[in-house]
Structure 1
């Protein structure tokens, strides 16, 4: 696994790194705070942290008591495939609108490239307009729709982006 560490140009000093077992409690708390349905369980998050075909990225802030996890993203890959999938991305509601989504997306793309993936795919809820705008601004192309994709019946828009080595 690679170990991306990205520093953004934001009003605060956040960075992104690979998450580890010590982040489990904070990842579960973020998951529970971020999603009403479709939440990953503690067991699922622990599996993701250990899986050789998954990467969990943690966006962290340094404060007087150490690191505070304020966002996370999970990337899935298949062995011998050049396609990565952004399975989940979440930002703490207290940090929404501060550029952490973009920061995490930069790190996701870098991690996918580091894992020899040249295409990144993802799904977004049709009612998640902020995420859709972010993906479109970042060059993701809509290639399909999955009706009734989410537990509450909401459809998903499918996006993909060809990743180019910088």
Structure 2
């Protein structure tokens, strides 16, 4: 699936995808609007010409840090199981490498077996637990992967 950097014209589709993909802990329209133009964020989208946006990823970069954070990967429910999450994850890693990041960190719900499997297959290792991390009180695992910088 082709992955590209999102542009402000993608805002409506990003918000609609967020509503379809998640039941809570959603990014707002204002947050997406800010991240689309931020020098400290990369918003990536899996865009199928005939189906629209099927997935998105949001990566944060902190000034002066070589650690990037994958904040979110969203896949449209109808498109799950097609490798879109893996494509977005690879694109997020590449974006982090281009920015000079030496590692990528993320948090994932402890009950999200599909996402945990994706991250572990991609070489992420569990480095911690955050109790009550999500809006509904669910715990999160923290994962990290070292990145080879070109």
TM-score of the two chains, using structure 2 as the length reference:
0.97
Aligned pair count? Answer: 150
| Root-mean-square deviation (Å) | 1.0
Q: 2:8 aligns with which of 21, 26, 29?
A: 21
List runs of 5+ in structure 2 lacking aligned partners: none
CA distance in 1: counterparts of 2:149 and 2:89, whole angstroms: 15
Does 2:79 correspond to 1:95?
Answer: yes
List runs of 5+ in structure 1 lacking aligned partners: 1-13
Q: How does 1:86-165 map to 2 (within 5 A)?
A: 86-165=70-149
1:7 corresponds to: none
Alignment deviations for residues 127-162 of structure 1 (CA, whole Å, 9 cap, x no partner): 100000110111101000000000111000000000
Note if contact 2:3-2:91 (Cα within 8 Å) is conserved in structure 1.
yes
Q: Give secondary structure in 2 for the equivalent of 1:36.
A: coil
Note if contact 2:98-2:149 (Cα within 8 Å) is conserved in structure 1.
no
TM-score of the two chains, using structure 1 as the length reference:
0.88
Alignment deviations for residues 54-103 of structure 1 (CA, whole Å, 9 cap, x no partner): 0000101122xxx7111000000100110000001001111100000100
CA distance in 2: counterparts of 1:23 and 1:130, whole angstroms: 26
Aligned structure 1 segments of 4 or more residues deviating by more than 4 angstroms: none
